A and B are shown apart, each in its own frame.
Chain A
Amino acid sequence: MTHGGRTGTGLRGLLRMRGGGDSSQPKSLLTRVVSWLIFIGITLYFVVPLFATFLHSIKPKPNGVPDPTLAYRTVLASPNFFIGLGYSFTVGVITILISLLIIVPTAYWVRLRAPRLRPVVEFVTLLPFVIPPVVYVFGLIRTYGGKPFQLLATDTGSNVVLVCAYVILSFPYMYRAVDTGLAAIDVRSLTEASQSLGAGWTRILLRVIFPNIRTAILSGAFLTLAIVVGEFTIATYLARNQAFGPYLSLLGRTQPYTPAVVTLVSFGLTWIAMLLIAFIGRGSRTRVQVAGAR
């Protein structure tokens, strides 16, 4: 997110040292009170469910004796929890690698050689926003479930389709992140310099372009990870029930207290991903990006 860091200029600026564009204007008491009320009210709405989830997680009373850490210990002792996290993280990492392998050369090529195809590429990367996940997985199942592909008949085939679907879901974020990164460097000069030193395309991409857009790549990667690890709809209908999303869903329908713990874990993971993105993007104009609803 870009923060308006403009400071007031001239006399007005000197008189009000609080900085910050139009926000430096002195506020009437009414504006302040109303703003505080809005802030407190909406904050309560956001904090209460999280706090309630926490309270719920420490509620178990086996044999009438309160045992606040029981649900936590149960989750930590549960193999399915780690299988789910492990599976989803693995899928996430593979997704990111494939996505980068496709998107970086594509975005690079669009900037360097095919700027006229930019609208087409952008349009294709935005398709996952237009096609809701449940509709998308519907199409995937009908296309790859039946003849001639029959990819979904095997475990491996289903995993492949899942990863490819996630790669498609990552395109809007990855393309924009990488393209923003490329905009900040002089792609043409770097390419020409590398070529005059005898570098081929693979070397240019791997040794020159990749390192120069590391920041952009990382923020795209963490956002992809945040989306993939909690994804439910596509994983469920491709029968990937070991994935973290379907696992939590089943837990929520069958267990009383442990889902609260896993919900908090899921929230914590989202926090970590977002903080990493903010940390990587500090100083640059990278905006906080948001995934679609699930």
Chain B
Amino acid sequence: MADAAVVVERGALPARPARRFGLAWVGLLPFFLFSFAFIVMPTAYLVAGSLQKNDKPSLQNYADLSTGIIPLALVTSIEVSLVTAIAGGILGFLLAYAIILGGLPRFLRTGVTTFSGVASNFAGVPLALAFTFTLGHLGVLTILLQDTLGYNLYDHDFSLSGKFGLELVYLYFQIPLMLLIIAPAIDGLKKEWREASENMGASPRDYWRRVALPILTPSILGTMILLFGNAFGAQATAYQLTGGALPLATLVISAQISGDVLHNPGLGYALAMTMVGIMAVSIGIYTLLQRRAERWLRS
């Protein structure tokens, strides 16, 4: 590819970029061809399939999203994602605050940051298994609670494969992700801002309420939205934990792949596209808010 461009352009390197824009795209051909074959085409297939019913163009599949298990699956997915985004966001922020501004020894901060890198990547099957060994029917903690306090979790409406159990597990990657993204923003709070507030008689509380939190709000909100998308698209953890029993959008898609459980291929495609739409909106808002947040962090 680059070679094709050489013939045309050898020895004629422009001093400024993009002067000979006409042929510049040729160098990007391999990238675009590969992306076209392996992500654009598969996605286009789903889009096209979702807009057809009985080989005729139709929006019926989208109308049918309100039938059967799909509304419940979408609502459950959204609920789990929302709960873990908010809880993970708050806990991740508190942890970031504690290790950065809470007067904890420096080495704890390094340790927590490195561990967060690991934990946010430690998702899927192994994560689900680790929690099964902890809080499953025969989990170490379940048995410990039973033996020492005589308290049986599973007699008290707890189930690791239920909604609450899943949310508890998702926090394992949500909290570290929040911490990793929000830590630079907290770091970006300038000492001068607090000093200026103090000089004008602000209490630490005033400073947080009137200065620090408003500056951090776009970052916090944006990251929580990212966490939402992160949980919404997750499949492996939920699949391993619940065996596909919990109605989640990703698990309905899984079942639809294995065998047409919706008894309508087009409906599966419509659900898939709805998920892509929700992801696109959340990532879009995250990008916008992050851009806004960067205004303050630039220095």
Contacts and interface: CB of A to CB of B under 8 A. Distances in A.
Interface of A: 1-4, 6, 8, 20-27, 31-32, 34-36, 38-39, 42-43, 45-46, 48-53, 55-56, 102-103, 105-106, 109-117, 121, 124, 126-144, 164-165, 167-168, 171, 191-192, 195, 200-202, 205, 226-227, 230-233, 237, 245, 248-249, 252-253, 259-260, 262-263, 266-267, 270-271, 273-275, 277-278, 287-294
Nearest to A24: B191
Interface string B102-127: 11101011101111111111111110
Contact of B2 (A205, A226, A263, A267): A205
A237 B256 CA distance: 11
B100 interface: yes
Interface in B166-204: 170-173, 175-177, 180, 183-184, 187, 189-191, 194
A27 B102 contact: yes
A134 B250 contact: yes
27 contacts: A1-B180, A27-B102, A38-B95, A46-B172, A49-B133, A50-B130, A52-B133, A52-B139, A56-B140, A102-B34, A109-B27, A113-B24, A114-B28, A115-B17, A117-B25, A130-B276, A131-B276, A132-B279, A133-B235, A135-B272, A252-B240, A274-B114, A278-B114, A288-B117, A290-B117, A293-B234, A294-B236
Contacts of B24: 109, 113-114, 116-117
Contacts of B254: 134, 233, 237
Contacts of B34: 102, 164, 167-168
Interface residues of B, number: 110
B27 A290 contact: no
B67 to A, nearest CB: 20
A55 to B, nearest CB: 5
A171 B140 CA distance: 40
Interface of B: 1-3, 5-6, 11, 13, 17-18, 20-21, 24-25, 27-28, 30-32, 34-35, 37-43, 45-46, 49, 91, 94-95, 97-104, 106, 108-110, 112-126, 128-134, 139-141, 170-173, 175-177, 180, 183-184, 187, 189-191, 194, 229-237, 239-240, 243, 250, 253-254, 256-258, 268, 272, 275-276, 279-280, 283
Nearest to B94: A38
* 5 nearest A-B pairs in the assembled complex, by CB-CB distance: A35-B102, A139-B42, A132-B233, A27-B103, A294-B124
Interface centre among A2, A233, A278 (most CB of B within 10 A): A233
A217 B245 CA distance: 41
B39 A131 contact: yes
Given A113-B20, A138-B268, A270-B121, 4 more contacts: A4-B187, A49-B172, A114-B28, A131-B39
Given A53-B130, A248-B126, A266-B126, A116 B95 contact: no
A227 B121 contact: yes
A134 B129 contact: no
B133 A270 contact: no
A42 to B, nearest CB: 5
Interface centre among A42, A55, A135, A291 (most CB of B within 10 A): A135
B298 to A, nearest CB: 14
Nearest to B119: A46
Interface centre among B95, B118, B268 (most CB of A within 10 A): B118
Contacts of A287: 184
A52 B140 contact: yes
Secondary structure type dominating chain B contacts: helix
Given A192-B13, A249-B240, A143 B41 contact: yes
Contact of B46 (A127, A142, A291): A142
B103 A32 contact: yes
A108 B243 CA distance: 45
A129 B279 contact: yes
Given A191-B13, A192-B13, A226 B121 contact: yes
B191 A21 contact: yes
Contacts of A278: 114, 117
A5 to B, nearest CB: 10
Given A1-B183, A124-B35, A288-B117, A138 B272 contact: yes
